[in-house]
């Protein structure tokens, strides 16, 4: 059997030992023949935690040779074993694994077993062999992982600094092909829509997981290496200029020469979402930069957002913070709120709930900002900087709901987040008497809003899953109440 990919799910019903895996109850490990590795670990409590998610998560590059060695070890042990779940000797509380092997024809072969070093020495030996090859600490694998490696491997990544064609800025990408040479040509996904672009390798180096220049889970991967001939071709969407685009570029060149900053800013705003054209993206950034030099607060806010999101420019939370600060000092409401987020999530420095509270409070008091209001609600709900006050949290969510609607009746994009929080309050009686039908209405509306945001908001997927969980709870409660009647 020629293996293309393996996926191992290891479940441990008890916790033991020390190290990163001592409190984990489930691990998922996927390794492909291409040399990629994905790993996530979970810590499931006895209570049904709505925020249940991975406590460790990473993606890394093993390299094809090491991946082949791992897959060969597994193929050798599982060759000829009976597939499918069968009666296992032991109790229901035994630790178990499920291995899915995908062969090169795309067929899945599934195997189950008990994790025990004593019960199955073959599996224990296989686990030890794999731990020496896989750079992840505390792996359960097939024996439960109770014996920690004395010299744990560290995950290593190959980072490349890439300069997209037609741009002066460099961006970090992860190479799954090992070290590349400066001057090599590659194809990479770029922007929020992952438009395919060609670029030149400026630098390539290996970094350990805790020393990477940019978080690995937020770094995109190089698609493929290309030849110089491919690089020089102008067949990608970012290089094909429509007549309208050419007219727009001619217009902005004149505006820049005339130093008409109001027109400059307006042009940049109108083209703010143009991820599909390199030349236009460059001009958007240039316009904002020129306007910032003229102390235009709105331009500082928009340019800060580009640095925060990593669009058109390399993602830089510190630079985003500095630009938000300029805009906030000039009284821009969104910039004040964004500074709160920088401190709340520790973007440009360590988390600082004191300063986050100050900025959210400022935005709420001065501008009745719905985003600031509901984030203040979160702080009172969780006790960040302030003592827990569920009633006050609910009142802030309620106020945010009213504040989210503009004079023409259109809601702010935060409406889905606010509805989800109010739905949670009415569902579980947080700060207000429980009202499950009202909770269900709010949660369904929030779910619809998150689905609309899913394409552009990376966090929407998690919000959708969490909201679905709340909806299931609401429906279950209503069904139980109906059965009692």
Each residue's pLDDT tens digit, 356-405: 999 999 999 999 999 999 999 999 999 999 999 999 999 999 999 999 99
| Residues 302/304/306/307 CA torsion (nearest 10 deg) | 170
Q: Let me know: does 268 contact 287? Beta carbons within 8 Å.
A: yes
The yes/no answer on whether domain 243-484 falls in CATH 1.25.40.10 is yes
CA pair distance 450, 465, nearest whole angstrom: 10
- CATH dotted code for 3-131: 3.30.1560.10
Q: pLDDT by residue (tens digit) across 104-117?
A: 887 888 988 888 76
Quote the Cα angle for 221-341-389, to 5°: 130
CA pair distance 190, 168, nearest whole angstrom: 14
Q: pLDDT by residue (tens digit) across 255-268?
A: 999 999 999 999 99
Task: Quickly list DSSP for 282-330.
Answer: HHHHHHHHHHHHTT-HHHHHHHHHHHHHTSSS---HHHHHHHHHHHHHT
Q: What percent of the chain has pLDDT over 70?
A: 87
Quote the pLDDT of residue 424.
95
Domain ranges of the chain: 3-131, 156-232, 243-484
Q: Let me know: does 36 contact 61? Beta carbons within 8 Å.
A: yes
CA pair distance 339, 333, nearest whole angstrom: 10
- CATH dotted code for 156-232: 3.40.1440
Low-confidence ranges of the chain (pLDDT < 70): 14-22, 44-54, 59-61, 84-93, 117-120, 146-154, 168, 192-193, 234-241, 275-276, 483-485
Pairing of strands 96-103, 3-11: antiparallel
Please report the sign of the dihedral spanned by the C-alpha atoms of residue 182, residue 183, residue 189, residue 190: positive
Quote the pLDDT of residue 89.
46
CA pair distance 466, 239, nearest whole angstrom: 41
Output helix, strand, coil percentages for the chain, rounded to the nearest 5.
45, 20, 40
Quote the pLDDT of residue 93.
60
Q: Could you tell me which residues are beta bridge partners of residue 158?
A: 206
Q: Let me know: does 50 contact 466? Beta carbons within 8 Å.
A: yes
């Amino acid at each position: 059997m020629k293996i293309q990919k393996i996926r191992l799910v290891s479940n441990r019903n008890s916790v033991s030992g020390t190290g990163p895996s001592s409190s984990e109850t489930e691990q998922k490990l996927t390794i492909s023949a291409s040399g990629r590795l994905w790993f996530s670990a979970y810590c499931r409590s006895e209570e049904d935690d709505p925020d249940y998610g991975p406590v460790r998560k990473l993606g890394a590059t093993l390299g094809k040779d090491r991946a082949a060695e791992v897959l060969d070890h597994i193929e050798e042990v599982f060759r000829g074993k009976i597939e499918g779940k069968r009666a296992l000797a032991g109790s229901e509380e035994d630790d178990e694994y499920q291995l899915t092997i995908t062969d090169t024809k795309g067929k899945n072969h599934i195997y189950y077993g008990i994790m025990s070093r004593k019960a199955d020495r073959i599996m224990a030996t296989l686990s030890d062999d794999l731990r020496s090859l896989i750079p992840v600490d505390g792996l359960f694998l097939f024996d439960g992982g109770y014996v920690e490696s004395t010299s744990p491997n560290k995950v290593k990544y190959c980072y490349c600094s890439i300069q997209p064609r037609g741009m002066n800025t460099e961006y970090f990408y992860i190479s799954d092909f090992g070290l590349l040479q400066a001057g090599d040509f590659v194809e990479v996904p770029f922007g929020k829509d992952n438009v395919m672009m060609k670029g030149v390798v400026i630098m390539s180096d290996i970094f350990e997981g805790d020393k990477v220049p940019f978080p690995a889970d937020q770094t995109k991967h190089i698609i493929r290496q290309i030849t110089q001939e491919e690089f020089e071709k102008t067949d990608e969407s970012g290089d094909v200029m429509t007549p309208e685009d050419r007219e727009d570029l001619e217009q902005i060149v004149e505006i820049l020469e005339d130093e008409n900053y109001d027109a400059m800013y307006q042009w940049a705003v109108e083209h703010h979402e143009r991820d599909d054209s390199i030349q236009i993206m460059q001009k958007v950034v240039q316009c904002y930069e020129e306007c910032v030099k003229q102390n235009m607060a709105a331009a500082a806010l928009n340019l800060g957002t580009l640095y925060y999101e990593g669009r058109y420019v390399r993602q830089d939370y510190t630079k985003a913070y500095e630009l938000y600060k300029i805009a906030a000092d000039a009284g821009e409401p969104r910039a004040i709120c964004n500074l709160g987020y920088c401190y709340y999530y520790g973007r440009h420095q360590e988390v600082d709930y004191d300063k986050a509270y100050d900025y959210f409070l400022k935005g709420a008091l001065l501008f009745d900002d719905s985003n600031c209001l509901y984030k203040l609600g979160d702080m009172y709900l969780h006790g960040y900087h302030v003592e827990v006050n569920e009633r006050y949290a609910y009142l802030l969510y309620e106020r945010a709901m009213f504040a989210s609607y503009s004079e023409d009746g259109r809601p702010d994009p935060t409406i889905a987040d606010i509805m989800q929080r109010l739905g949670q309050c009415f569902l579980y009686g947080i700060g207000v008497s429980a009202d499950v039908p009202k909770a269900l209405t709010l949660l369904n509306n929030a779910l619809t809003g998150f689905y609309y945001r899913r394409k552009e908001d990376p966090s929407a997927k998690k919000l959708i899953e969490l909201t679905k969980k709340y909806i299931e709870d609401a429906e279950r409660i209503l069904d139980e109440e109906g059965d009692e009647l």
